[in-house]
A and B are shown apart, each in its own frame.
Chain A
Amino acid sequence: MRIAVVVFPGSNCDHDAYHAFKHVLGVETVFVWHKEADLRGADAVVLPGGFSYGDYLRAGAIASRSPVMDEVSRFAGKGGPVIGICNGFQILCEAGLLPGALMRNRGLRFICRDVFLRCETSGTAFTSRLSNGDVIRLHVAHGEGNYFATPETIVRLEAEQRIVFRYCDPTGRLDPEWNFNGSLEAIAGVLNEGRNVLGMMPHPERMAEAILGGTDGIAVLGSLLDYLESLPLKGGKRGEVAREAAGAAQKGAEGTKGASGREAGGRCKAV
């Protein structure tokens, strides 16, 4: 199993993600420079946080047009799991791999603190270790995390259970006070249609060890590993199989208009 962490000029959570996967979770992890057009046989891709290209033009805008993103799109199109964290989420939205946009925080301030998230959709490739309603504490550090999408998109995300996390209070109650950046519907993380691409503003990789303040991030990163583990190993090439399996599941989900989701994928139950 191999995780690729993409590095853009200005990425600054790339090493955090590398550390969490490689040293905390013990998985082979490689860096991929944004000018490379090869994901090095990875089974999952991480777009890390940071300020790619100094957030020039719009956060994530220029990185989303980097050479590596063509390859990430292809990988995601085949069902390969991709997680974009913070700036990675912004890049995925700008690349059109996720719906919506991340705008300036409601109060215009850069906010760096711990927040609480409620799991809204368990059983995805990124939340199998969580149940709906579970509350986790993660860290945020962003100036542009105010999620926006058209009303039609929000309705659709809701109907297809693609809202994965919402900002909440420590008890799991939705409260505008705790939706610190003003995101629509308190959305902190969303899935793509194929359910294999997740974007989230909070940082699971920064909450992967008790010594760094908490371990709730493992619920997300560990779920991804469980998902990869669960894929059938065919001919010793797990990556290819991962993409095929997820691709098939995606097709299945399209056929049933998302009603039964990706049961074909074997793992995801609560779609």
Chain B
Amino acid sequence: MEETMKAKVTVSPRRGVRDPQGRAVLGSLHALGFPEVVDVRVGRFIELIIEPKGEGGPDEVEARRRQEQRLDEMCRRLLANTLIEDYRFETEP
């Protein structure tokens, strides 16, 4: 419980939002002879090392729920611009 935890956040352009980087990479892959690629979206990968706060108490499920809530808040408030980007995250011990 007291060890650090790793959170992996993936941010990608929302569907329907133009992604000129993705288009450029797609064009380049085609030029290299990979015509099977039909679409590319270029996003961002962020790794967070998180120190669990001791206050969680013995209820591990509740502590985890809180941590995910806080991660979600980090994504919404800074890591992603939800107008143009989607995000998802996973945690590992």
Interface residue ranges, A against B (CB under 8 Å): 57-58, 61-62, 65, 94, 100-101, 103-108, 146, 148-150, 182
> Which of chain A's residues have a CB closer than 8 A to the CB of B44?
57
Stretch among B16-24, B31-39, B65-73 lining the A interface: B16-24
26 pairs, A vs B, C-beta closer than 8 Å: A57-B44, A57-B78, A58-B81, A61-B78, A61-B81, A65-B78, A94-B81, A100-B83, A101-B81, A101-B83, A101-B84, A103-B18, A103-B84, A104-B20, A106-B18, A106-B20, A108-B20, A108-B21, A108-B24, A146-B20, A148-B17, A148-B83, A148-B84, A149-B83, A150-B83, A182-B20
Residue in A closest to B82 when the chains form the complex, CB atoms: A101
Q: Which of A57, A65, A107, A150 contacts B20 (CB 8 A)?
A: A107
Residues 62-93 of B at the A interface (beta carbon under 8 Å): 77-79, 81, 83-84
What residues of chain B lie closer than 8 Å to A106, measured between beta carbons? 18, 20
Q: Tally B residues with Cβ within 8 Å of A.
A: 12
CB pair B84–A105 under 8 Å, yes or no, is no
Which residues of A lie under 8 Å from residue B24 when comparing CB positions?
A: 108
A108 CA to B26 CA, complexed, in Å:
14
Task: Provide the bound-state CA to CA distance between A196 and B81, in Å.
Answer: 24
- In the bound complex, residues from chain B placing their C-beta under 8 Å from that of A94 are 81
Which one, B20, B78, B83, contacts A105 given CB within 8 A? B20
Question: What is the CB-to-nearest-CB distance from B39 to chain A, in angstroms, rounded to a whole number?
Answer: 17
B20 contacts across to A, CB distance below 8 A = 103-108, 146, 182
A62 to B21 Cα, complex, angstroms: 22
Chain A residues, Cβ within 8 Å of B17: 103, 148
Give the chain A neighbours of B21 by CB distance below 8 A. 104, 108
- Bound: A158/B53 CA distance, A: 48
Which 6 A-B pairs rank lowest in CB-CB distance, beginning with the nearest? A101-B84, A101-B83, A104-B20, A108-B20, A101-B81, A108-B24
CB nearest neighbor in B for A103: B84
Residues of A within 8 A of B84 (CB): 101, 103, 148
Which residues from B are CB-within-8-Å of A108?
Answer: 20-21, 24
Q: Which residues from chain B contact A182 at a C-beta distance below 8 Å?
A: 18, 20
A149 to B77, CA, bound (A): 18
B78 partner residues in chain A, CB cutoff 8 A: 57, 61-62, 65
Q: Is the CB of B79 within 8 A of A57?
A: yes
The smallest C-beta distance from A151 to any residue of chain B, in angstroms, reads 10
- CB-defined contacts of B83 to chain A, threshold 8 Å: 100-101, 148-150
